[in-house]
Structure formats: structure tokens, C-alpha cells
Amino acid sequence: MAANAFDTEITETAEALIGPWRRPRQMLQAQTYDAHASIHDDATAQKLGFKGGTIEGPTHFSQFAPLGERLWGRAWFETGCLSAHYRSVCYEGEEVQAIQSKPLPATRQCQIQMVKRDGTEVLRGTASVGEPHAATALEARLGELKPLADPVILRDVKVAQTSRRQTVRMAFDQIMGDLYPFSLRQKLAVITENSPYYSGTDNPWRKPVIPMEMLSVLFQYRSKDDPLPAKGPAVGLFADQEIRLVQGPLFVDEDYEVEREVVALSGSRRTESAWAKTRVFDKAGTMVATMLLNMATLKESYAPYEDEYRRLYGAGG
């Protein structure tokens, strides 16, 4: 008899499942990329107008796991999908709550939202299992994007660029590199919603399961070994993210292969964004998961941005 997946206290209404208030932990203070600190470092974040180092977006995915499992049971771990647009940053010490609407009859997709105590929306999107026969939040968002105009930081990045395949693995005590300077065991000590499924074999698959928020870490683990030709140094942040299990779960101590493809380029007043689709394969070559990630780079964090814009386009950026 497998253990219960979660003991999280869930409030159920006629329309939604609501998780408890949680204070996620920030574990990326020591993160570096391109030989500099990231937006999760207090000093770097403050220079860019943030209050301090921000909590990484997929950290919040853990709070939706008990809600997805309550709705869909085992299918959540095997074909679950979270598709989210990050609306505002969250800092360590702030309380946040996950809210998941109930799907309409005969459907397998519903709306999700995370809020702070003061009502600030941290993220919004969709949760689903299997093939929901409806566009996820980010599939819909991709269809509405305007192409990036006058790129500077991303001027050498092209849609359809694909990385070489890389082998990745996550062990309990493996430090996941400069991008993720901590181990799965350290994460499980502070994760907002822990589960016996994550640390042992008392589950339907008889293997420790990698939590959805840590799939983001696994999929990005070697991304800097074959980076996009973006200009830098510059500071980026996750603006949109979707993780979809196709034939899950994914397991601790197993090898997987990942490849990335640029599927869109977009921009805003403050950012240039590269949207990458990561496809993940098991050792038999079966695609087991995908991730869609919008890495938005802050224009103001790239020192020569204005000068290069004028050189390229003849006017202020």
C-alpha cells in the first residue's frame, strides 16, 4: 500500500481547491551565470529596482502539486502540466497561497492562481492532465505574441535554433552547478509541500520521484554548456514557464537527455525574451516531459544596450 502523496491541508469550495499559506525559501543567493550574480542575489536585484533577491518562479509550482493530486490522483504525477505567467516577484518571508479552480465536467484543465496576503497576484495560468484538448495558458500566450523588434541582446538568436542533446541526472546529494547551488536533499528539507513520494520507494512506481519544481532545475542543469548566442553579461528572469509530464514521473538517479529549441522571440519596454522549448527523453528515447520557458533579459542590466541600439538602429532604445 503506497503512502499518501501529501498531507497538505486543502480547503475545498464549490468552485476551487485552496492550499495553505506558505513562506517559500530562497535558495539561489549564490547563483551565478556568465560569471556574475543573478536576480536572486540581493545586491544585484536591488540595483535593478527590486527589494531584494527574488524567489525563483518554479518554487511556487510545489504548492499546486497537492491540489493537482487531489483532483486527478496518480495521473497528476504521470501526465500533469502547470502553465504559468509570472505576474510579480516574491521575496523570502512573504506568504503566498495556491488556488486552483475545479475543471468543468468532462474537461481536464482548470485555472490556477497564486496570491500574496495583500492580494498581489504572483502567477496565473492553467493546470491540466493528459491531453486537455484546450490551449494551456502559455500556448494561448504564444499565439498572441508580437515578434521581437530591434533586438540588441538577442540579435544573434534565431527562432528554430536547437541545442545539442545533453545527458542530465539528479541524485539526492548532487549539487546542481552554478545555476542551482544546492542539492535535492537540501531542497526537500525546506520545500513547501513535501511528500514521501519524493524521498523513498513507498509510491506506485517504487522509485523516488523528482518534484515538479526540481524538474526545472534538472532541465536547466547543463544549459550553460551550450548557451544561446545572447549578448552579455546581462541579468534575466523567468517570465513564463510551463512544465508538462508526458510519460512521468521522472526519477532520482536516472539519466535523461534534453534538447532545447528557440520557439519564439518577444519583447517589452524593459526586456528581450527568448522562449525555449525543452524536450526530455528517457534512456529508451521516449519523450517523457517538456518545458516551455520564457527567459526575459532586462535591457538595463546590459551595460552597452543604449550605445549598441543606436549603432544598430540609429535611435535611442
**Mean pLDDT for each consecutive 10-residue tract of the chain (317 residues)?**
90 98 79 45 47 78 98 98 95 94 94 97 98 92 93 97 96 87 92 97 97 95 90 90 98 98 96 97 98 95 95 79
Residue (of 223, 195, 225) closest to 211 by Cα position: 195
**What is the pLDDT at residue 69?**
98
Cell numbers found for residue 303: 551595460
CA dihedral 10→187→47→33, nearest 10 degrees, is -130
**What is the pLDDT at residue 133?**
84
Q: Which amino acid is at 316?
A: G
Q: What is the per-residue burial (b if ≥16 Cβ within 10 Å, else e) of 51-61?
A: ebbbbbbbbbb
Cβ neighbours for 230, distance < 8 A, ≥ 6 positions apart: 153, 154, 156, 157, 274, 297
Q: What are phi and psi of 289, to 5 degrees?
A: -165, 160
For the chain, helix (H) and strand (E) counts, in that order, are 8, 13
User: What is the distance between the alpha carbons of residues 228 and 272, in angstroms, rounded to a whole number?
Assistant: 13
CA neighbours closer than 13 Å in the CB half-sphere of residue 137: 25
**What is the pLDDT at residue 146?**
87
What predicted TM-score, i.e. pTM, was given to this entire model?
A: 0.92
**What is the pLDDT at residue 1?**
58
SS (H, E, C) 249-263: CCECCCCEEEEEEEE
Cβ neighbours for 298, distance < 8 A, ≥ 6 positions apart: 48, 234, 235, 236, 237, 270, 271
User: What is the distance between the alpha carbons of residues 123 and 115, in angstroms, rounded to a whole number?
Assistant: 7
**What is the pLDDT at residue 32?**
45
| Alpha helices per DSSP H over the chain | 42-47, 65-72, 74-79, 137-144, 184-188, 196-199, 212-220, 305-313
- Beta-carbon count within 10 A of 254 CB: 16
**What is the pLDDT at residue 38?**
45
DSSP state of 280: E
Cβ neighbours for 269, distance < 8 A, ≥ 6 positions apart: none
**What is the pLDDT at residue 317?**
53
